[in-house]
Amino acid sequence: MSWTNPASAQWREHPEGFRRWETSTRLGDGPAVWDWASTEVLRWGVKTRSGFTVSPAAAVRTGDRPVIMAHPFGLSVREPVEVVAVVDASDRVGFAYRTLPGHPVTGEEAFVVHRDGDSVLLTIRSLTRPGRGHWRVMYPVLLLAQAVARRRYLRALRVRAAR
pLDDT of residue 159: 53
What is the arithmetic mean of pLDDT over 22-46? 95
Does the pLDDT of residue 142 top 90, yes or no? no
Give the predicted TM-score (pTM) of the model: 0.91
Transcribe the chain into DSSP letters. --SS-TT-S------TTSEEEEEEEEEEESHHHHHHHHHHHTTTHHHHTTT-EEES-----TT---EEEE-GGG--EEEEEEEEEEEE-SSEEEEEEEE-TTSSEEEEEEEEEEEETTEEEEEEEEEEEE-SGGGGGGHHHHHHHHHHHHHHHHHHHHHHHT-
pLDDT of residue 147: 85
pLDDT in tens, 54-67: 999 899 999 999 99
User: What domains, with CATH codes, occur in the chain?
Assistant: 21-161 (3.30.530.20)
pLDDT in tens, 70-115: 887 777 889 999 999 999 999 999 999 999 999 888 999 999 999 9
pLDDT in tens, 112-123: 999 999 999 999
